[in-house]
């Protein structure tokens, strides 16, 4: 059975990595920060649709009886595969299919590292 994990709003699903004082890109995290466990690091697995805009867009004419309302979103900066450094306090730990993840509000992400493929 295949399941889809759907995040709501500005939430980001992150697979945390083992404790390490150096990120894969070579960024060092100070010892004091790690000991207090104020920040965590990991890879973005999935993201929500973004920040909802105030009003929903309505398609069709109101008098026709066929109107459809769609909520519009401002997309998030975080993308699947990004390496994220985030605040641990607002994060929520969950376990999905035996794996531990963190659900993090987008505003709690401090830094994203995205690898770009070199142009030929």
C-alpha closest to that of 50 among 101, 8, 112, 109: 8
72: CATH: 2.30.33.40
Is residue 45 in a domain?
yes
Asked whether the beta carbons of 10 and 47 are under 8 A apart, the reply is no
Cα 95 to Cα 5, 50, 76, distances in angstroms: 12, 23, 23
How many separate domains does the chain show? Answer: 1
Q: What CA–CA distance (Å, rounded) separates 40 from 75?
A: 23
The DSSP 8-state label assigned to residue 53 in this structure reads P
Q: Lowest-confidence range among 30-34, 49-53, 88-92?
A: 30-34
3-state class (DSSP) for residue 65: coil
Which pTM does this prediction carry? Answer: 0.74
Residue 60 domain-assigned (yes or no): yes
In a domain, 23, yes or no: yes
119 within a domain of the structure (yes/no): no
Instruction: Count CB atoms within 10 A of the CB of residue 30.
Output: 11
Q: Which helix (DSSP H) or strand (DSSP E) does residue 101 occupy?
A: strand 99-105
Q: Which domain holds residue 72?
A: 11-113
SS3 70: strand
Over the stretch 1-22, which tens digit does the pLDDT of each residue have? 678 899 999 999 999 987 655 5
In a domain, residue 78? The reply is yes
């Amino acid at each position: 059975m295949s399941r889809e994990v759907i995040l709501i709003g500005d939430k980001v699903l992150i697979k945390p990595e083992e404790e390490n004082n150096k990120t894969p890109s070579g960024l060092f995290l100070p010892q004091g920060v790690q000991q207090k466990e104020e920040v965590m690091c990991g890879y973005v697995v999935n993201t929500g649709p973004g920040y909802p805009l105030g009003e929903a867009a309505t398609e069709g004419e109101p008098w026709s009886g066929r109107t459809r309302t769609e909520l519009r979103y401002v997309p998030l900066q975080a993308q699947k595969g990004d390496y994220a450094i985030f605040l641990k306090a607002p994060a929520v730990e969950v376990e999905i299919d035996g794996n531990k993840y963190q659900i993090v509000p987008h505003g709690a992400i401090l830094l994203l590292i995205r690898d770009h493929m070199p142009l030929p």
